[in-house]
Amino acid sequence: MSGESGKPKTPLPGTYLKRDEYMKLPGLIKYKPVARYLFSAGQAQSRFLHGLKEGKILGVMCPSCGRVYVPPRAYCEYCHTPTSEWVELPGTGTIHTAVVSYIATDRSRLEEPEIVGVIRLDAPGYKEDQYEFAGLFHKICGVTPEQVMDGSAIGMRVKPRWKPAEERTGSVTDIECFEPVEG
């Protein structure tokens, strides 16, 4: 059955329940939890967020293995030692992976499809490999769904599109999206 009207085009025999009648049936209990948090970003992430407010992407290096963490960590997950040396990254990078999403979290259809991806950031001097690199997950703009679907977006050179300085709050959304580097 179903459909926009909630009724089949050819009615089946039986008694149809309206939505509000259904919701009033004993045995259905509605509840919406109140769960609010004030997360402490911590030492590493706070410094990173301050950097974003100033239009900088900061990473932090493990003194033991040389990995550069973006997003930063206070410790290296491989060596279990505190990270120490902060580096400012140029912000440019390449699209490592990207997908086109046609649905919202509640599975309703989006009017405009959305492209999100992981950007492999340029980190001069850091020996990264195929799966480990300084990077950021973000929205990707200026790229068409077709470019994502035919694979031509992968490897594309991109840079952050920053919000104007006066609108930045120290959040990952101080970067609106990553967009192709012109020329």
**CA-CA distance, 68 to 130, in Å (whole number)?**
14
Q: Which is nearer to another protein, 9 or 32 (CB)?
A: 32
CB of 88 to another protein, least distance (A): 22
**CA-CA distance, 140 to 15, in Å (whole number)?**
49
Q: Which is nearer to another protein, 93 or 135 (CB)?
A: 135
Q: Quickly list DSSP for 75-127.
A: B-TTT-SB--EEEEE-S-EEEEEEEEEEE-TTSPEEEEEEEEEEEEE--TT--
∠ CA 174-139-171, nearest 5°, is: 20
CB of 36 to another protein, least distance (A): 4
CB of 39 to another protein, least distance (A): 6
CB of 170 to another protein, least distance (A): 15
CB of 61 to another protein, least distance (A): 17
- Picking from 99, 83, 109, 180, the residue whose alpha carbon sits closest to that of residue 141 is 180
Q: Which is nearer to another protein, 42 or 63 (CB)?
A: 42
Q: Which is nearer to another protein, 76 or 148 (CB)?
A: 76
Binding footprint of another protein on the chain (CB under 8 A): 29, 31, 33-45, 73-75, 77-80
Q: Which is nearer to another protein, 18 or 32 (CB)?
A: 32
Contact 90, 106 (CB under 8 A): no
